[in-house]
Chains A and B, each alone.
Chain A
Amino acid sequence: MIELEGLTRVYQGGRGAVRAVDGLSLTVGNSEVFGLLGPNGAGKTTAIKMMTTLSRPDAGRCLVGGFDVVREPGKIRERIGVVPQENNLERELTARENLTIYAMLHRVRDAERRIEENLRRVDLWDRRDSVVTGFSGGMQRRLLLARALLAEPSVLFLDEPSIGLDPQIRRQLWDSIRKTRIDGRTVVITTHYIEEAEALCDRVGILCRGKLVALDSPENLKRSVGECVVEFIDAEGKLVQHIHRGRGEANADAAGEHNSSVTVRKTNLEDVFIKLTGERIE
Chain B
Amino acid sequence: MIELGWYPVFLKEMLHFRRKLLKLGYLFSAMVVPIIYLIAFGFGLGGSVRIDGTSYLAFLIPGLVAMSSMNNSYTWVSSTLNLSRLYFKTFQVYVQAPIAPSSIMIGEVLAGMIKGLFASALIVIVGILSAPDFRITFLFCVALLLNCFLFANMGVIVGMLTKSHEDTATYSNFFIMPMAFFAGTFFPVDKMPTLFKGVVYVLPLTHTNILIRKAGMDAEAWVSLGILAVYAALCFVCGSKLIRGYSE
Binding site for B on A (CB under 8 A): 49, 52-56, 74, 77-78, 80, 82, 84, 86-93, 97, 101-102, 104-107
Known: A84-B92, A90-B90. A74 touches B7 (CB 8 A): no
How many angstroms from the CA of A203 to the CA of B189 in the assembled complex?
A: 71
Q: Say whether B8 contacts A104, CB under 8 Å.
A: yes
- In angstroms, Cα B16 to Cα A84, docked, is 23
CA distance A53 to B97 in the complex (A): 10
Count residues on chain B whose CB falls below 8 Å from chain A CBs. Answer: 22
* Chain B interface main SS type: helix
Contacts of A89 in B (CB 8 A): 90
Neighbour of A101 across the interface among B8, B89, B92, B95, CB < 8 A = B8
| Distance of A101 Cα from B88 Cα, bound (Å) | 16
Give every chain B residue within 8 A of A84 (Cβ-Cβ).
89, 92
List residues of chain B with CB within 8 A of the CB of A88. 88-90, 92-93
> In whole angstroms, how far apart are the Cα atoms of A49 and B246 in the complex?
12
Residues facing A in B1-33 (CB within 8 A) are 5, 7-9, 11-12, 15-16, 19
Question: In angstroms, how far is the closest chain A Cβ from the Cβ of B160?
Answer: 15
Q: How far is the CA of A84 from the CA of B95 in the complex (A)?
A: 13
Residues from chain B with a CB closer than 8 A to the CB of A53 are: 95-96
Give 8 A-B contacts (CB < 8 Å), ordered by A residue.
A54-B96, A77-B97, A84-B89, A93-B16, A101-B12, A105-B9, A105-B97, A105-B99
Given known pairs A92-B19, A93-B16, A104-B11, the reply for A54 and B90 (CB within 8 Å) is: no
**Contact A86:B12 (CB < 8 A) given known A53-B96, A54-B95, A105-B94:** no
Q: Check A91–B99 contact: CB distance below 8 A.
A: no
Report the separation of the CA atoms of residues A104 and B10 in the bound assembly, to the nearest whole angstrom. 11
B98 at the interface (CB under 8 A from A): yes
Task: Tell me, in angstroms, the Cα distance from A99 to B35 when the chains sit together.
Answer: 40
CB distance from A44 to the nearest CB of B (A): 14
Docked CA distance A156–B19 (Å): 33
When C-beta atoms are compared, the residue in chain A nearest to B8 turns out to be A104
A80 and chain B: residue at smallest CB distance: B96
Determine if A101 and B248 form an interchain contact, defined as CB atoms under 8 angstroms apart: no
User: Does chain A have a CB within 8 A of B247?
Assistant: yes
Report B-chain residues with C-beta under 8 Å of the C-beta of A87: 89
The residue in chain A whose Cβ has the minimal distance to the Cβ of B93 is A88
The CA-CA distance from A172 to B5 in the complex, in Å, is: 34
Cβ–Cβ contact A56 & B96, under 8 A: no
Considering residues A55, A86, A106, which has the most beta carbons from chain B within 10 angstroms of its beta carbon? A106
Residues of B within 8 A of A107 (CB): 98
Expressed in whole angstroms, the minimum distance between the Cβ of A268 and any Cβ of chain B is 34
Chain B residues closer than 8 Å to A55, beta-carbon distance: 247-248
**Which chain A positions have C-beta within 8 A of B90?**
88-90
Q: Is A92's CB under 8 angstroms from B8's CB?
A: no
B90 CB, nearest partner CB in chain A, Å:
5
Given contacts A88-B92, A90-B90, 20 further A-B contacts (CB under 8 A): A49-B248, A52-B96, A53-B96, A54-B92, A54-B95, A54-B96, A74-B98, A80-B96, A84-B89, A84-B92, A87-B89, A88-B89, A88-B93, A91-B88, A93-B12, A93-B15, A93-B16, A104-B11, A105-B93, A105-B97
**Contact assessment for B92 and A90 in the assembled complex, using a CB-CB cutoff below 8 Å:** no
Please report which residues of chain B, range 66-103, place their CB below 8 angstroms from some CB of chain A when the two chains form the complex.
88-90, 92-99
